[in-house]
Structure 1
Amino acid sequence: MKRLIALLALLAAIAVGAAWAVAGIANRPAPAADVVGLNDAVASTAANWPYLKPADYEPAVTVVDATGHVLIAGTDPLPDALTAARHHALAAPVVVDDEIVATVYYADGSVAAEAAARRTLATTATIAIVIGVLLVAGVATTNYVRVVRPFERLRDFASEVAGGNLDAPLAMDRGNVFGAWTESFDLMRSELAAARQREQAVEESKRTLLAQISHDIRTPVATIAATAEVLAASEDDEAKLTRLHLIEAKSAQIEALVADLFRANESELAALRIEPTEFASTDLGSMLRGTVTSVRLGPIPPCVVRADRLRLQQVFDNILANSEKYAGTDIDVTFAVDELLHVTISDDGPGVAPDELEMIFGRGVRGSNVGDVTGHGLGLFTCAYLMDRMGGSISAPPTERGFQIVVGVPLA
Structure 2
Amino acid sequence: MTTMDKIMMLVILLFCNISKAVRIEHQPVDRSVAEKKRVHFTCTFKDINDNMEGKYEVIWTKDTYIISELNGFNLKRFKFENLFAEKEHVVRINHVNRKDKGGYQCHLRYNNDILLTSNTGKLTVREIPSDRYPLVKLDKEIYRPGEEIAVSCVCENTNPEPTLEWDPTTQTLLQSTIIKKNDSLIWIEATVIASTAVNGLVLTCLLHVEDEPVPRDQSKHLDINNGDFQITTTVLTTTVIQHEKNLSLTPQITNYEKDSNEVDFKQWRLLVLIITFALTTCVSFVVIVILIVYNRKKNKLYKTMQEKCEASDYSTSFLPEVKREKEMASMSSNAFHDQATYETNDESIPFLLEMNCEQDSKSMSSNESIDQATTNESTSVQLKLNREQHLASISSNESHNYATSETTTLLRHRNIKTKYSLSSYIGPGPP
Give the TM-score taking structure 2 as reference length.
0.28
Give 1 or 2: higher helix fraction. Answer: 1
Give the TM-score taking structure 1 as reference length.
0.29
Structure index of larger Rg:
2
Give 1 or 2: higher strand fraction. Answer: 2
